[in-house]
Amino acid sequence: MSKRSAKYPVIAIDGPAAAGKGTLARQLAEVLELPYLDTGLLYRAVARRVLDRGGDPAHDGPEQARQLVPEDMRRNDLREPEVDQAASIVARHPEVRAALLERQRHFGRARGAVVDGRDIGTVVFPDAPAKFFITASPEVRAQRRYEQRHGQPCTDPTRLAEEVAAINTRDEQDAARAAAPLRPAEDAVMVVTDDLDAAGVLEHVCQILQEKGIIRR
């Protein structure tokens, strides 16, 4: 029997760059037997299309967002550092966000979902029965992102400082934009993950979902 008690819930997972949203969302989707949607991939795919065409991420996002096809999200070059920054730039444009909004809602409405991003609890699914905002210090997030990319911890302080700077730039950009800025929904549960590993975060979140009656006891 499924652990899920609510039929088709949407679980919103938001937070700044490299906070571990994807790891948590993927594991949670498995536990709850729900589909998983990584909305960052949509913005990354739009940015990739703009870069491939030699366009300007600040201006050419809307056209590419309207032409996005499912194969764009299956590319294996969406997580490169140049795409991190370009995704954050295309994501500022209200027309890009508008072009992607209905796709996200359609995905979640069909049979519930675990959805991760920046504006899931505030804009995409404001009625989600469970919202989490996952954070950690920029230093911890930079180290995690480095390990994810290189398969080992970063021991070079200069290199780590560059990673921290890139993360801070993106967070500032994401939080300062007028359209759907990065911020916790009023009813989001904050989860600070500096001292938790992936299993610890999952356990903590599952406990809250039990308290909310979304996971069976």
Binding site for ligand CDP (CB under 6 A): 17-18, 22, 39-40, 43-44, 84, 87-88, 91, 117-119, 170, 174
Q: Which residue lies nearer to ligand CDP by CB, 44 or 49? A: 44
169 marked as part of a ligand binding site = no
Report how far Cα 143 is from the mean position of its chain's Cα atoms.
18
19 marked as part of a ligand binding site = yes
Plot region of 116 (φ>0 → left; ψ -120 to 50 → alpha; else → beta): beta
- Minimal distance in Å, beta carbon 213 to ligand CDP? 26
Q: Which residue lies nearer to ligand CDP by CB, 19 or 214? A: 19
213 marked as part of a ligand binding site = no
- Minimal distance in Å, beta carbon 40 to ligand CDP? 2
- Minimal distance in Å, beta carbon 173 to ligand CDP? 7
Q: Which residue lies nearer to ligand CDP by CB, 32 or 182? A: 182
What tokens appear for 134 in the block? 């996952």
Among 22, 149, 24, which residue's Cα sits nearest to residue 77? 149
Q: Which residue lies nearer to ligand CDP by CB, 93 or 189? A: 93
Residue length of the chain: 217
- Can you say which residues are annotated as belonging to the binding site? 15-23
- Can you say which residues are annotated as belonging to the binding site for ATP? 15-23
